[in-house]
Amino acid sequence: MKILIGNKNYSSWSLRPWLVLRHFEIEFEEEILLLNGDNWKQNLLARTPSGFVPVLEDDGLVIDETIAIIEYLADRFPQYNIWPDDMGQRAMARACSARMHAGFVALRSAAPMNIRGNFPGRIDAKVIARDMEELEKLLVPLLVNSQGPYLFGDFCAADAMFAPVACRVNTYGIDVSPRLKNYFTAIFSLTAFKEWQGAALKEPWVIPEGEMDFIQVQN
Ligand SMILES: N[C@@H](CCC(=O)N[C@@H](CS)C(=O)NCC(=O)O)C(=O)O
């Protein structure tokens, strides 16, 4: 089984299924397809169905789209609770994951994941206010219900879906409620997350579009 991912510092979609693979100790190989440099897009188009990462290759299958990769892993490894065991909780976990996959567009574009970046106070709070309100309304009741540390108690795929949001909140110093702050701390404390973060911090590549000065000029 092999996962094709983007640069670890920037590729928020790649982080999600990678975290599931690593956290549940599934054996896999990884290959980074750079999201920068000469001909990076042509290379991506040549190696992936849609020209986007992540992509999972397994047993002759080539699967793209983050949610589909996670669902495949859950089917392929039913011995792990990639989704919660309880049917109702599983439905809730899929629902909030789908909301993340399809939504939070303002937050995602104004505050791209940049793990090594440190840009507190440099995002216009008004631009992301509605998304941050929606995030609190979505996640806090789940955390109250589960009593933490993760959305459904133990770490599951839904938490992987929100891990890049934790990174964004950290990089841009975005205000969140104490409950969300604790939740993001729990994500940062995962061994699998620390491994990804350590690798991201060592990467030499800089993508201007993911750096604050570029974003502010664009806006
Ligand atoms: N809908 C896709 C989105 C994947 C995506 O946007 N990946 C980014 C990297 S994080 C990418 O490949 N970008 C290449 C490009 O923008 O051309 C998924 O859920 O996997």
Q: Read off the pLDDT of residues 80-139 as tens digits, 9 standing for 90 and up.
A: 999 999 999 999 999 999 999 999 999 999 999 999 999 998 899 999 999 999 999 999
Query: Residue 121 is part of a domain; what is its CATH number?
Result: 1.20.1050.10
Distance 86 CA to ligand 1 centre (A): 31
- Domain-ending residue, one of 80, 112, 129: 80
Burial class of residue 137 (count of CB atoms within 10 Å of its CB; 0-12, 13-18, 19+): exposed
24 assigned to some structural domain: yes
Task: Please compute Rg for the chain using Cα positions.
Answer: 17
For the entire predicted model, the pTM comes to: 0.97
Q: Are residues 73 and 94 both part of a single domain?
A: no
Q: Which residues have C-beta within 8 Å of that of residue 14, sequence separation ≥ 6?
A: 3, 5, 6, 8, 53, 54
User: Smallest Cα–Cα separation from 158: which of 7, 12, 19?
Assistant: 19
Query: 140 or 219: which carries more pLDDT confidence?
Result: 140
pLDDT of residue 68: 98
State both tokens at 56. 């999972």
- Are residues 30 and 69 both part of a single domain? yes
Give me the number of domains the chain comprises: 2
Residue type, 127: V
184 alpha carbon to ligand 1 midpoint, in Å? 23
Say whether both 61 and 115 belong to one domain.
no
Residues flanking ligand 1, CB < 6 Å: 6, 11-14, 35, 41, 51-54, 65-66
Question: What is the C-alpha to C-alpha distance for residues 32 and 15, in angstroms, rounded to an integer?
Answer: 12
Q: What DSSP letter does each residue of 112-153 carry, written as one string?
A: ---TT---TT-S-HHHHHHHHHHHHHHHHHHHHHHTSSBTTB
Q: Are residues 92 and 75 in the same domain?
A: no
CATH code at position 75: 3.40.30.10
Residue 106: name the closest of 131, 135, 79 by CA: 131
Average pLDDT, the chain: 96
Shared domain for 39 and 106, answered yes or no, is: no
Alpha-helical (H) ranges within 24-174 are 40-47, 66-76, 87-102, 105-110, 125-146, 157-172
The answer as to whether 210 is a domain residue is: no
Final residue belonging to a domain, choices 80, 113, 143:
80
- Whether residues 111 and 12 fall in one domain: no
pLDDT single digits (tens) 175-194: 999 999 999 999 999 999 99
Would residue 212 count as lying in a domain?
Answer: no
